[in-house]
Chain A
Amino acid sequence: MTTITINGKDHSFNGIDPAMPLLWALRDHAGIQGVKYGCGVGQCGACTVWLDGFAVRSCQLTVGALEGRAVTTVEGLATATLHPVQQAWIDHDVAQCGYCQAGQIMSAAALLERNPSPTDDEIDAAMAGNLCRCGTYVRIKSAIKAASGAMTASAPFYNAMEAAEVSA
């Protein structure tokens, strides 16, 4: 059995292959479907979640290795209100098909937690692991800048720097 904190609640995975990627454990066994399967090899970023506050590819983590760790998915990003990145995604009408966007949002939100006012190059570097075949990069960048403005005007929602360092 492996117990992982998912969006603030403990979830125990019983009787599943410990080698199962976190992606499939979340989707098939924890009812968390915002995380998406795109490639299974860490190339597309559609499965991006936070592990102890850091953006990671959930298809590249095995569930058995995550005992006691904290996972945040797009479903857990909003508090009483939407996260500024989510709000910016809506306001800037970023999505076309939308399939990659949960992963994009998790990468963008992780970037802004550490770097509330990123430059264009810093946005490019942080988002380079998330593919969008619809080609919404233009709007993703605008939305990140708008969210950056909203976030620098208020306290971070998640203080990632207090979370444990992870190598994933």
Chain B
Amino acid sequence: MNQPSNQIANTERRDFLKISLGLALSSSGGISMMSLASAEASGTLNAYVNINADGSVTIYGPNPEVGQGVNTSLPMIVAEELDATWEDVICEAAPVQQQYGMQFAGGSLSIPMRWDEMRKMGATAREMLCRAAASQWNVPRDELTTANSRVLHGPSGKSAHYKDLVAAASLMAVPDEADVRLKAPADYRLLGKRISNASAEGIATGKPIFGIDAKVDGMVYASFVKCPSIGGVAKSANLKAVRALPGIIDAFILDGTPGPYNFDIRESHAIQSGIAIVGKDTWSTFKARETLKVDWDLSAASQDDSDVIEAEALAALAAGRVEAEIERAGDVEAVFANAAMTADSTYSTDFVSHAQLEPQGVLVSAATSAVEVWTSSQTPVFITSNLAKLLDVTPGNITVHQLRGGGGFGRRLSNEYIFEAALISRRVGAPVKLQWKREDDMAFDYFRAPTYYRLQGAVAADGQLVGWKNLLAAASADGENANYGASYRPYDFPGKVIPNVAVEQSFVKSQTPTGAWRAPISNVYAFAEQSFIAELAHKAGQDHRDFLLNAIGDKGWIKEGDMASLNTARARATIEAVTKAAGWGRKLPEGHGLGLAFFLSHSGHIAEVAEVSVDGKNITVHDVWVAADVGQVVNLSGLENQLQGSVVDGLSTMAAQSISIKNGAVVQSNYDSYPLLRMPQSPRVHVGVLNSGYRPTGAGEPALPPLAPAVCNAVFNACGERIRALPISKAGFTIV
């Protein structure tokens, strides 16, 4: 996705008696202002920290929790600098307010964009508590230390719990940022440890903490039926018959907004046309859909056929049709003409759906001008402005509550289901709980775009990879601009590493909406690139690991200090660690193969090795090793969980997930036709985390891209068949 800036306009400055410390940190997005009275009453030291009378410490996580663990890891950062006793910390979702800055979950950005802010919030609160103690005890500040939610004075042996200091601390002037010392990593007591998810008990005991669990007095239930061919418009329907059904309150047409439905998560409040069915419970609205008959106007509907898109794309690549240049370095033509060896292979991937377990749904109360939303959106920060436009209400009258999301993966970046619910609520004059069926979720996704790459490589006489060509065919609604996720972003490797590089593209028409899917572009491009590197190594008669290391080289940091940039030392370290752990080069049982891949995305340098065995067309993935460098570890358990899960999710997706489109409509409808990996197919996963000491970066996405090429490279080494299309079921393979 486009990475939203973490700078937002300051909230208006109001003339309160006391401005809490957050204001000093406004450049990092956190601003808190409150009256002296309210600070004293609540024990609030800033917008993120509240020290409660019972000694517990409430820490607010600003960003949405969709399974990436930020409602644990962000409070951990605050707690570390605050020296709060973790067992006494209560992690709460922050309200959606401008003072919390960019409240969204995407791009694996929550940790890196909040790192400085969270540390300063904790450290400043700690400093205020220390100053309060220094004043009370009449001792020098420098003689005070903190541990376990207490301020300690070594010389006198005095100590006090934070709860007994917070009232005085909240009266202290907010310290200058320069006077607040952050800990050195060597002094961390909490960061880097394995900490269970703050919601683990709530999840294990079935607490109603998810978006789907939201309830409010007087709410009614709704289902929204859209045209299977995307963009079709409801002309008429047997609404009278539907309204007469038991449990049904109302049924009506929502006109919708003309397509195409671009993935514009900041500005768009478009919805597709459809029929709203409102009832007294979810089931009544689902059942009424069986009676509903709609006459759709298909004149503006998509006519996509995924087989046609694929055929046109592959034809464009075979013909070498170039319509735009993305990247060029060196003299590609000369180096290919003079190469000792060249190779030329075409890779492709299908449309895929997000298929997160919690289908889209939301509770919206928009009956009056005071609008309230309970949602597990990944972009709560963009809800208010768009709802204000859609409903013609002032943003200040809109309240958005963050609830836990049953999986995100990019699906909850777009908020169209919220806009649907808001319009339905406004029409019926009651709070509306809208629930998409699984079939709706699969039919009306912003899919991962299909991709098509023709890769060519040139290897010099000394065995070094010296030339790289990538011609891609990008799905495009207008024939001139690639749809979201269908193109390529210039990566440091190969662009800044291999001396002669050309990346070019052509376009194929597609109206099917596409959007961000876990590690956008990287998750498909890595498959092509890292499989092709293995092809080149094999053709050159070199060990894949050695060839890859030589290709990456030792330039060091491509862009000094930029965590998103390739650092060849970090890359080499992960490759060396993972191949060592997996026993690269060891003698394998008959029919087994090891496969390696490395990829840098979302600032994470990740290398993976898979061990597979192949029996006919049945592939067993026995083990996967992951070596990850995402900088300073925040929550080791959360990080390891993301790495393990990315492997399983990557395998799940490459196995047999494919969305096909006919007449502009999605063919698959549920998990029976769109399978997720099940436990018996799941490999053992061994994870290793490299402690590089760099700033922490996100872990939700970067471990997924290397998985597919690692497995496909292993399959080649096991049986000699090179897989160049995902899912692998297209070539008849099954993960067993």
A interface with B by C-beta (< 8 Å): 16-17, 19-21, 24-25, 27-29, 32-41, 43-44, 46, 73-75, 77-78, 82, 86-87, 89-91, 93-102, 105, 123-125, 127-141
Decide: B206 and A90 in contact? CB cutoff 8 A: no
User: What is the CB-to-nearest-CB distance from A125 to chain B, in angstroms, rounded to a whole number?
Assistant: 7
Do A124 and B206 form a contact, CB below 8 Å, given A20-B283, A99-B407? no
Chain B: interface size category? 35 or more
User: What is the CB-to-nearest-CB distance from A6 to chain B, in angstroms, rounded to a whole number?
Assistant: 12
Q: 6 shortest A-B CB distances, which residue pairs? A: A34-B206, A135-B648, A97-B67, A99-B406, A135-B645, A98-B203
Decide: A40 and B438 in contact? CB cutoff 8 A: yes
Interface 1/0s, chain B 630-654, versus A by CB < 8 A? Answer: 0000000110011011111100100
Do A36 and B358 form a contact, CB below 8 Å, given A24-B281, A28-B221? yes
Chain B: which residue is nearest A46 at the CB level? B357
CB neighbours of A74 from chain B (8 A): 204-206
Decide: B672 and A43 in contact? CB cutoff 8 A: yes
CB neighbours of B405 from chain A (8 A): 97
User: Does B196 count as interface, using CB distance less than 8 angstroms?
Assistant: yes
Decide: B679 and A28 in contact? CB cutoff 8 A: no
User: Does B213 count as interface, using CB distance less than 8 angstroms?
Assistant: yes
Chain A: which residue is nearest B680 at the CB level? A124
Chain A: which residue is nearest B210 at the CB level? A99
**Distance A44 CA – B670 CA, assembled complex (angstroms):** 10
Q: Which of these, A19, A41, A75, A132, contacts B206 with CB under 8 Å?
A: A75
CB neighbours of A73 from chain B (8 A): 206
User: What is the CB-to-nearest-CB distance from B542 to chain A, in angstroms, rounded to a whole number?
Assistant: 33
User: Does B678 count as interface, using CB distance less than 8 angstroms?
Assistant: yes
**Distance A102 CA – B201 CA, assembled complex (angstroms):** 11
User: Does B494 count as interface, using CB distance less than 8 angstroms?
Assistant: no
Q: Which of these, A43, A44, A100, A139, contacts B641 with CB under 8 Å?
A: A139
CB neighbours of B647 from chain A (8 A): 135
User: What is the CB-to-nearest-CB distance from A4 to chain B, in angstroms, rounded to a whole number?
Assistant: 16
Do A127 and B358 form a contact, CB below 8 Å, given A93-B197, A135-B648, A138-B648? no
Chain B residues 669-714 with CB under 8 Å of chain A are 670-672, 676-680, 682, 684-685
Identify which of A43, A46, A132 gathers the most chain B CB atoms within 10 Å of its CB: A132
Decide: B283 and A24 in contact? CB cutoff 8 A: yes
Chain B residues 192-247 with CB under 8 Å of chain A are 194-197, 199-201, 203-208, 210, 212-213, 221, 246-247
Do A136 and B284 form a contact, CB below 8 Å, given A75-B205, A90-B201, A99-B358? no
User: Does B437 count as interface, using CB distance less than 8 angstroms?
Assistant: yes
Decide: B676 and A131 in contact? CB cutoff 8 A: yes
User: Does B464 count as interface, using CB distance less than 8 angstroms?
Assistant: no
User: Does B507 count as interface, using CB distance less than 8 angstroms?
Assistant: no
Decide: A95 and B206 in contact? CB cutoff 8 A: no
Decide: A132 and B357 in contact? CB cutoff 8 A: yes
Chain B: which residue is nearest A83 at the CB level? B204
Decide: A128 and B679 in contact? CB cutoff 8 A: yes
User: Does B356 count as interface, using CB distance less than 8 angstroms?
Assistant: yes
Q: Give 19 A-B contacts (CB < 8 Å), ordered by A residue.
A: A24-B282, A33-B213, A36-B212, A39-B671, A44-B671, A44-B676, A74-B206, A86-B204, A90-B201, A91-B196, A93-B637, A96-B69, A96-B645, A98-B406, A132-B357, A133-B356, A135-B645, A136-B645, A140-B679
CB neighbours of B407 from chain A (8 A): 96-97, 99, 133-134
CB neighbours of B208 from chain A (8 A): 33-34
Decide: B357 and A82 in contact? CB cutoff 8 A: no
Decide: A97 and B205 in contact? CB cutoff 8 A: no
Decide: A28 and B283 in contact? CB cutoff 8 A: yes
User: Does B604 count as interface, using CB distance less than 8 angstroms?
Assistant: no
Chain B: which residue is nearest A141 at the CB level? B679
User: Does B503 count as interface, using CB distance less than 8 angstroms?
Assistant: no
User: What is the CB-to-nearest-CB distance from B685 to chain A, in angstroms, rounded to a whole number?
Assistant: 5
Q: Which of these, A91, A97, A128, contacts B358 with CB under 8 Å?
A: A97
CB neighbours of A95 from chain B (8 A): 67, 197, 199-200, 203-204
CB neighbours of B648 from chain A (8 A): 132, 135-138
**Distance A135 CA – B407 CA, assembled complex (angstroms):** 11
Chain B residues 374-407 with CB under 8 Å of chain A are 404-407
User: Does B408 count as interface, using CB distance less than 8 angstroms?
Assistant: yes
User: Does B328 count as interface, using CB distance less than 8 angstroms?
Assistant: no
Decide: B358 and A39 in contact? CB cutoff 8 A: no
CB neighbours of B68 from chain A (8 A): 96
Decide: B200 and A131 in contact? CB cutoff 8 A: no
Do A102 and B206 form a contact, CB below 8 Å, given A93-B638, A133-B409, A138-B648? yes
CB neighbours of A19 from chain B (8 A): 287
User: What is the CB-to-nearest-CB distance from B274 to chain A, in angstroms, rounded to a whole number?
Assistant: 19
**Distance A36 CA – B407 CA, assembled complex (angstroms):** 13
**Distance A132 CA – B355 CA, assembled complex (angstroms):** 10
With A28-B282, A97-B67, A133-B652 known, 15 other A-B pairs at CB within 8 A are A16-B247, A17-B283, A34-B207, A37-B282, A38-B671, A41-B672, A43-B671, A44-B357, A82-B201, A91-B196, A96-B197, A96-B645, A131-B671, A137-B648, A138-B648
**Distance A81 CA – B406 CA, assembled complex (angstroms):** 26
CB neighbours of A124 from chain B (8 A): 679-680
